[in-house]
Amino acid sequence: MIELDGLVRRYGEREVLSDVSLSLAGGQTLVVFGCNGAGKTTLLRVLATLLRPHAGEVEVLGCRLPDDAWQVRGRIGLLGHEPLLYRELTPRENLRFHARLHGVGTERVEELLAAVGLVDRAGEPLKTLSRGMVQRVAICRAVLHDPELLLLDEPWVSLDPAARELAWPLIGAGTGPDGRRTRVISSHDPGGGLAEADLVLGLRGGRVALLREAGSVDPSEITELYR
Amino acid sequence: MTDNPPTANDARRSSARPPGLAATVGALLGKDLLVELRTLESVPGMSLFAVSTFVVFHFALNQNTVSGDEAAGILWVTLLFAAMLGVNRLFVADAEQGGFDGFLLAPVDRSAMLVAKALALLAYLIVLELVAVPAFGLLLLGSPLGQALPGLLAVLALADVGIAVIGTLIAALAVRTRARDLLGPLLALPLLVPVVIGGARASSPLLSIVHPGGLQLRWLGTLGLYDLVFGLIAYAVFDFLLED
């Protein structure tokens, strides 16, 4: 599902990801920990085909990146720091726009708006909604096309407990095609992250500092990454 | 190996087909026009700039009427600078609100963005000219455009296509830089000079009061050829502009 071998990514002269290698099977969840600037978001953007790897091998959903990136777009959902939504448009207009880009029917938009409890506010411009509500719309956008691979950059931030409960069936474990959606999540929450993970990756300065099955990782090892 | 029964997800995924070029262009264009309608960030500014410039020319030249080369020069330079205001803002909402990434994640032909943005800019230019050309006639020609109008519309149409294609190409190039407001005009204006020359030469006889003439087909042909060449160049390189 995801195979990385010696992945390197630079911004200018600075190496943001250095020699990152891992293997994640289909249906599993990889949780990435690391302090700010450790390379978590960059890793997610490389997997999403938005950034090119500068060295190493990257294979996502059986396709090599960047050469076959066009084959995996549309099979990946990305929930990043930015909602990727237009502030002047309403949640319904934003989601219908993305639905058209993915060839998805408008009934799916209504289904998702209902799922995140935003039907009543779906006709108001996004700029008038709270951050948590915008995050809910962004979650709808990320799963609109029912992607096989979901890339989530700190997805639970800005969601209150009720909103988390609403969002869980959409992006939580065991969702997606056949309940076997593969997920890569970046997190700063050792307890919550470990609970969701099959595989744990800890990044420090763009390098792999921890890579193990979640069951064998102690929360204190994750806390150590932030020291 | 056993086959699992199809699930609701399978049904949804099998019914989802990547949209074709026309559908993608329609989605992007609809979104752009809706955003402009809500924000009114481009077209009113462009129109106001053009009308204000004609007012300034009216008083600065201290003439009741202009004609021929002078009139054509004023019209085309004003339209060009007004168009630059729209060019500078063409991709701003996409760059600032993540629209680029949202588009790049979709399984669509990336050329659709070039076509949609060029069409959006073309629509802005048409609205601009609906306001600016009558204002130009009123403030600087001293007479209604009358017989000159059909010919002028042909010149405007060809020049607008050139401005829309080149403007879109340059806007896509400049929008990801920090100095986009400076870089856009710096790169676009040299490329748009031939459009201004073609537009001015083709419309000069139409705007002449003393010796009114017909359409200069040679210059119309030049404008058409320039549009075609830059259309092909834009189509060839646009994908690379969107790449990381």
Residue/partner pairs of A12-15 with CB below 8 Å, 24 or more apart: A15/A206
Residue among A92, A164, A79 at smallest CA distance from A121? A92
Q: Give the chain A residue nearest B41 (alpha carbons).
A: A88
Q: Over the stretch B185-223, which tens digit does the pLDDT of each residue have?
A: 999 999 999 999 999 999 999 888 777 777 788 999 999
What residues in chain B have their Cβ under 8 A from chain A's Cβ atoms? 4, 7, 9-10, 12-13, 15-19, 23-24, 26-27, 30-31, 34-35, 38-39, 93, 97-99, 101-108, 243-244
Residue B14 has pLDDT above 50, yes or no: no
Amino acid at B2: T
* pLDDT value at residue B12: 53
* pLDDT value at residue B13: 52
Asked if B4's CB is within 8 angstroms of A178's CB, the reply is yes
Report the distance separating Cα B150 and Cα B134, nearest Å. 13
* pLDDT value at residue B5: 40
Residue B74 has pLDDT above 60, yes or no: yes
Mutate to test the interface with A, among B105, B113, B178 (most CBs of A within 10 A): B105
Q: Are A46 and A65 in contact (CB under 8 A)?
A: yes
Q: Over the stretch A136-161, which tens digit does the pLDDT of each residue have?
A: 999 999 999 999 999 999 999 889 99
Contacts B4 to A, Cβ<8 Å: 178
* pLDDT value at residue B195: 95
Q: How near does any CA of chain B get to the CA of A221, in Å?
A: 34
Q: Which residues pair with A183 in a beta bridge?
A: A29, A150
Question: What integer best gives the mean pLDDT of chain B?
Answer: 88
Amino acid at B205: P
Rama region for B169: left / alpha / beta (φ>0; ψ in -120 to 50; rest): alpha
Asked if B39's CB is within 8 angstroms of A101's CB, the reply is no
pLDDT band at B67 (very low <50, low <70, confident <90, very high): confident
The conformation of residue B36, written as its DSSP 8-state character, comes to H
Cα dihedral angle (A39, A44, A47, A50), rounded to 10 degrees?
A: -100
The model's pTM: 0.90
* pLDDT value at residue B15: 53
Q: Average pLDDT for residues B15-26, to the nearest whole number?
A: 85
Residue B10 has pLDDT above 60, yes or no: no
Identify the residue with better confidence: B30 or B96: B30
Helix, strand, or coil (residue A170): helix
Q: For residue B200, give every residue at least 6 positions away whose Cβ sits within 8 Å of its Cβ, in sequence order, or none.
A: B69, B72, B73, B75, B76
Report the distance separating Cα B125 and Cα B32, nearest Å. 14
Q: Give the chain B residue nearest A104 (alpha carbons).
A: B16
Helix, strand, or coil (residue A51): coil
Q: Which residues pair with A60 in a beta bridge?
A: A2, A63
Q: Are B83 and A28 in contact (CB under 8 A)?
A: no
* pLDDT value at residue B16: 62
Reading the block at residue B28, the tokens are 């992007």
* pLDDT value at residue B1: 34
Q: Over the stretch A40-81, which tens digit does the pLDDT of each residue have?
A: 999 999 999 999 999 999 999 999 999 999 889 999 999 999
Q: In chain B, pLDDT over 90 holds for what percent of residues?
A: 65
Q: Over the stretch B50-63, which tens digit does the pLDDT of each residue have?
A: 999 999 999 998 87
Report the distance separating Cα A82 and Cα B6, nearest Å. 34
Q: Are A95 and A106 in contact (CB under 8 A)?
A: no
Identify the residue with better confidence: B3 or A2: A2
Residue B181 has pLDDT above 90, yes or no: no
Asked if B30's CB is within 8 angstroms of A88's CB, the reply is no
Q: How near does any CA of chain A get to the CA of B101, in Å?
A: 7
Report the distance separating Cα B133 and Cα B138, nearest Å. 9
pLDDT band at B4 (very low <50, low <70, confident <90, very high): very low
Contacts B39 to A, Cβ<8 Å: 88
The conformation of residue B140, written as its DSSP 8-state character, comes to I
Q: For residue A169, give every residue at least 6 positions away whose Cβ sits within 8 Å of its Cβ, in sequence order, or none.
A: A115, A175
Reading the block at residue A4, the tokens are 């990385």
Residues of chain A below pLDDT 50: none
Q: Average pLDDT for residues B66-71, to the nearest whole number?
A: 88
Q: Where are chain B's structural domains? A: 19-242
The shortest CB-CB distance from B105 to any of A78, A83, A97 is to A78
ipTM for the complex shown: 0.90
A155 contact B CB<8A: no
